[in-house]
Amino acid sequence: MSVNDKFNLFSFTGKMKILHLSWFAFFITFVVWFNFAPLLQSVKESLGLTTAEIKTLLILNVAFTIPARVLIGMLTDKYGPRLIYSLLLAICAIPCFAFAFADSFVQAAIARFALGLIGAGFVIGIRLVSEWFPHNELGTAEGIYGGWGNFGSAAAAFTLPTVAVMFGGEDGWRYAMAITGVMSLLFAFIFYRNVTDTPKGATYYKPKKSGAMEVTSTGDFYLLLLMKTPMYGALALLAWKLSPSGISMLNDTTVYLIYAALVALYLFDAWHVWQVNKHVFEEEVPEIHQYKFKQVAVLNVLYFATFGSELAVVSMLPLFFSETFELTPVVAGMVASAYAFMNLMSRPGGGWLSDKFGRKPTLLILTAGLAVGYFAMGQVESSWPVWLAVVAAWGVLSSCNPAKGRCLRRCPD
């Protein structure tokens, strides 16, 4: 079966086999990544944590993902999705087990921070799917990959509290989390044995220069440096959160050392950008090889607004429903899963709309819908019926992450 064969969702051969294995790998990363949110009440009681420490763990859960996605993307370009995705699933089982058996806040915090690496799985699958599907099907294929994979957070919220109850006792959450680590480890081998980076006869193109993204003009060079600053700013903000001004997990000396390291790392990063792109200051890049980096910058901001906010909501929603409506952890997890449940339809639907009507109108309409949805969620309080709060959450998710994969693949204007 070639990449040009019919798009048959019920097939498990050729490109459709790659799609199904990819979205399920992504699904598992989300189950592992968000196995904490539906069980946080149990973790809080078992480890004797404060509310501030729980919220810090939720922040740590996504912190490492910020630089990890850049690093994993570079490794994927160099070594291919098959190897990198398999290694990611296998390696991230280790901090998953470490968190499951943690007996202090510090141990849990270190494990949760390391587990943020698994959030980088998304970029691997996007590259793999783009290698297997033609441009007129790419939005739909990557929508299925992203949407069905994101559903892993809903699956975790829906099932893990019940699994924890089945094992009973205050340590039931440990068994539930350990099971997700086993899933990740086993599927790493399945993925490696059944996936190839490209269809037979196709070439996997690697970047000519590694270490930084290539741009094609001096203006784009400076814009690239500017767009890198939020990542380091977010990590600096995390360090401040852990300082004596926050929850006092780190002392002032350690925090200042982290600040200095982040500045040094940014300068090192900027030096790599210069090494890869210094030629744009010496001669004009041929027009056939030029592209506008602002396309990437705009998508970066949109992704921050859509998926970035989704991560925050998915992490906090079980606790929000539990405290606002006084629900049990199991019921709160099931209700919160409705938010991520919309991924099954919103992402494939957004990809299909992008394939059919183009990325610009799709992005504009759905981003506006996201703003309206978050405004509605901001009004939710305990006097609301639970079902109405769930509807508000659905409205937000239906506008998140519509068609970014296709935009990154095709951005001519």
Report whether pLDDT(358) > 70.
no
What residue spans define the domains of the chain?
14-200+210-215+293-409, 216-290
CB-based contact 188:370 (threshold 8 Å) = no
> Is the pLDDT higher at 364 or at 12?
12
The predicted structure's pLDDT at residue 379: 82
Most confident of 166-180, 198-212, 349-363, 388-402: 166-180
> Is the pLDDT higher at 247 or at 64?
64
Instruction: Take residue 98 and report the two structure tokens written for it.
Output: 């470490």
- CA dist 225 and 230 (Å) reads 10
Q: Which fold has domain 14-200+210-215+293-409?
A: Growth Hormone; Chain: A; (1.20.1250)
Q: Residue 384 — φ and ψ, nearest 5°?
A: -75, 150
Q: In the predicted model, what is the mean pLDDT of residues 197-223?
A: 85
- CA dist 224 and 23 (Å) reads 30
* Closest residue by Cα to residue 81 from 179, 222, 1, 197: 197
Cβ neighbours of 156 (radius 10 Å): 30
Length of the chain: 413
Report whether pLDDT(80) > 90.
yes
- CA dist 70 and 47 (Å) reads 33
Q: In the predicted model, what is the mean pLDDT of residues 295-310?
A: 77
Q: Which ranges of 242-285 does DSSP label H, i.e. alpha helix?
A: 252-277
* Closest residue by Cα to residue 61 from 118, 115, 98: 115
Cβ neighbours of 217 (radius 10 Å): 17
- CA dist 115 and 396 (Å) reads 26
Q: How confident is the model at residue 410 (pLDDT cuts 50, 70, 90)?
A: very low
